[in-house]
Amino acid sequence: MASEAAKEKGQETSRHILAVAKEVFSEVGFDGAHVDEIARRAGVNKTTIYYHIGDKETLYAEVIHGVLGNTAERISLDIRSAGSPGEKLRVFIRNLARTIEENPQLPPLMLREVAGGGRNLPDVVPRDLGRIIGMLTEIMEEGRKKGVFVKATPFLVHFMVTGALLLYKSSAPIRARRKEFADVFLPIGEDVTKVMSGEIEELILRALSAQPSPQSGRGKRTAPRRTKNKGAI
- CATH fold for domain 57-208: Tetracycline Repressor; domain 2 (1.10.357)
Report how far apart, in Å, the C-alpha atoms of 198 and of each of 31, 46, 67, 195 are: 36, 44, 22, 6
What was the pLDDT predicted at 129?
93
What was the pLDDT predicted at 156?
94
- Average the pLDDT over 183-200 and give the result: 67
Is pLDDT above 50 for 216?
no
- Average the pLDDT over 24-53 and give the result: 95
Exposed, middle or buried by CB within 10 Å (0-12, 13-18, 19+), for 21?
buried
| Count of alpha carbons within 13 angstroms of residue 65, beta-carbon side | 13
Q: How high is the mean pLDDT of the chain?
A: 85
Return the sign of the alpha-carbon dihedral for residues 73, 75, 77, 78: positive
For 231, phi and psi rounded to 5 degrees? -85, -5
Q: Are 231 and 136 in contact (CB under 8 A)?
A: no
Q: Enter the DSSP assignment of 190.
A: S
Residue pLDDT, tens place only, 99-136: 999 998 998 898 888 888 888 989 999 999 999 999 99
Q: Are 136 and 85 in contact (CB under 8 A)?
A: no
Report how far apart, in Å, the C-alpha atoms of 74 and of each of 58, 67, 204, 208, 218 are: 23, 11, 21, 24, 39
Residues in contact with 59: Cβ distance below 8 Å, sequence separation at least 6, in sequence order: 17, 18, 21, 25, 35, 38, 49, 53
What was the pLDDT predicted at 5?
79
Of residues 166 and 46, the one with the higher pLDDT is: 46
Class for the domain spanning 7-54: mainly alpha
Q: Are 89 and 150 in contact (CB under 8 A)?
A: no
- Three-class SS of residue 209? strand
Is pLDDT above 90 for 150?
yes
What was the pLDDT predicted at 118?
87
Distance between first and last Cα of the chain: 73
What was the pLDDT predicted at 184?
61
User: Of 92-101, 136-145, 168-177, 178-187, where does mean pLDDT reach its minimum?
Assistant: 178-187
- In the chain, where the domains are located: 7-54, 57-208
Is pLDDT above 70 for 44?
yes
- Average the pLDDT over 83-111 and give the result: 93
User: Of 23-37, 177-191, 204-218, where does mean pLDDT reach its minimum?
Assistant: 177-191
Q: For residue 218, what pLDDT band results from cuts at 50, 70 and 90?
A: very low
Q: CA 165 to CA 175: how far, in whole Å?
A: 15
- 3-class SS letters over 80-110: HHCCCHHHHHHHHHHHHHHHHHHCCCHHHHH
Residue type, position 182, single letter: A
Return the percentage of the chain with pLDDT > 70, whole number. Answer: 81
What was the pLDDT predicted at 3?
78
